[in-house]
């Protein structure tokens, strides 16, 4: 049981405190083999047909931001969670919690965006729910999307499948979504044309898994809340390996980089909403990179590191179970821990 007596913003961060609440409180209570895997969605066998099932609520503030709004974020987010399980996303639910007085025009705009996002991703929004709470009891609009996808035969992805020697591919520039939302929220007067990267990744995943030998792709994850740093830590921890990345190889827009420097944010922990981390067998890594780069949303993809070693019983300072080590631009080494605390609440 967590030692906090009240829920903190950190519990929703996707970082360390959120993980400890999930693994110490939620997983034991809901104990079952599906949940305890702690991947982006659950894999369920339905009479020989494997389906992936995932859910996410969206509470982003502000609800409209450069490059998108809460509507496409909600659709793309669940589409991507399913895709990261290796599934073809097919059906999505949409459950709205609205604050009394919310402008009907904004609602229509958001629903139109959801409809477009669903078409773009090739999924149907098949069921829904609408609740309204009195003024002041919610902040404008919260959206939950849950989704179902079909997992092709032979696809077997999990955060626990990373193997020593595997290459780590990031499908594009880091930290765009978080910085776009932040600048919109705080009215910082920074106008750097930083746009959210909210896009569906299912086509990219389909190309990757459909072209490469099935057993060469080991892990797929979308580094949303908690950023690349937290996602790599999850993989390292689930697989019991050390991951080494090179700061210099991580793609990042100059405008995002300078905004992070200006505001003191570490981009490794900033949310992405249209990026994928792929852990791929070394012999397939260059083909994987080429496939991703041919995709509309993968032009800036890069190999950013590799899985170093499986961690034994006698961990040393730089090879403790589940560690991520980054070779910095200036040549040193730094341990990249899971996000502690919350840099940016309500980023998705």
- How far apart are CB 168 and a second copy at their closest, in Å? 25
DSSP assignment letter at 246: E
State yes or no: residue 53 binds a second copy (CB under 8 A). yes
- For 180, residues 6+ apart whose C-beta sits below 8 A from its C-beta are 65, 66, 67, 194, 195, 196
Nearer to a second copy, 75 or 260 (CB): 75
Residue selected from 125, 181, 205, 284 as contacting a second copy according to rule CB under 8 A: 125
Nearer to a second copy, 130 or 328 (CB): 130
In the range 141-180, which residues lie near a second copy by CB under 8 A?
A: 142, 144, 146, 148, 150
Nearest-10 crossing angle of helices 70-84, 104-121: 30
Query: Can you read off the two tokens belonging to residue 147?
Result: 């989704």
- How far apart are CB 94 and a second copy at their closest, in Å? 7
DSSP 182-219: HHHHHT--------------HHHHHHHHHHS-GGGEEE
The candidate with the shortest Cα–Cα distance to 117, out of 61, 75, 163, is 75
- For 144, residues 6+ apart whose C-beta sits below 8 A from its C-beta are 55, 56, 57, 58, 74, 93, 94, 95, 97
- How far apart are CB 53 and a second copy at their closest, in Å? 6
Nearer to a second copy, 53 or 327 (CB): 53
Residue selected from 23, 129, 318, 335 as contacting a second copy according to rule CB under 8 A: 129
Nearer to a second copy, 120 or 257 (CB): 120
Q: Which x/- pattern over 3-42 shows residues binding a second copy (rule: CB under 8 A)?
A: -xxxxxxxxxx----x--xx--xx--xxxx-xx-----xx
Residue selected from 20, 83, 99, 340 as contacting a second copy according to rule CB under 8 A: 99
Nearer to a second copy, 134 or 189 (CB): 134
């Amino acid at each position: 049981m967590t030692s906090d007596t009240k829920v903190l913003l950190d519990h929703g961060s996707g970082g360390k405190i959120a993980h400890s609440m999930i693994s110490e409180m939620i997983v034991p209570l809901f104990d079952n083999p599906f949940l305890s895997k702690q991947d982006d969605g659950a894999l369920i066998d339905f009479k020989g047909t494997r389906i992936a099932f995932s859910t996410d609520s969206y509470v982003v503030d502000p609800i409209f931001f450069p490059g998108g709004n809460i509507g496409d974020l909600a659709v793309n987010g669940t589409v991507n969670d399913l895709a990261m399980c290796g599934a073809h996303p097919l059906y999505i639910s949409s459950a709205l919690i609205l604050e009394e007085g919310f402008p009907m025009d904004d609602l229509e705009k958001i629903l139109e965006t959801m409809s477009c996002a669903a078409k773009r991703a090739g999924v149907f929004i098949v069921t829904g729910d609408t609740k309204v709470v009195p003024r002041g009891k919610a902040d404008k609009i919260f959206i939950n999307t849950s989704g179902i996808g079909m997992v092709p035969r032979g696809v077997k992805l999990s955060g626990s499948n990373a193997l020593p020697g595997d290459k780590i591919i990031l499908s594009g520039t880091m930290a765009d979504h978080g910085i776009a939302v932040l600048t919109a929220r705080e009215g910082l007067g920074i106008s750097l044309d930083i746009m959210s990267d909210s896009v569906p990744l299912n086509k990219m995943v389909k190309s990757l898994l459909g072209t490469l030998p099935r057993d060469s792709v080991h892990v797929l994850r979308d580094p949303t809340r908690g950023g690349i740093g937290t996602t790599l830590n999850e993989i390292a921890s689930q697989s019991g390996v050390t991951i080494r990345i090179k700061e210099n190889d991580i793609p990042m827009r100059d405008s995002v980089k300078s905004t992070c420097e200006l505001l003191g944010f570490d981009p490794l922990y900033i949310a992405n909403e249209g990026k994928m981390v792929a852990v791929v067998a070394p012999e397939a890594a260059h083909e994987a990179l080429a496939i991703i780069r041919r995709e509309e949303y993968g032009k800036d993809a890069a190999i950013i590191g590799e899985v170093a070693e499986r961690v034994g019983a006698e961990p040393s300072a730089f090879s403790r179970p589940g560690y991520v080590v980054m070779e910095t631009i200036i040549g040193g080494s730094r341990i990249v821990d899971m996000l502690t605390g919350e840099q940016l609440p309500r980023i998705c």
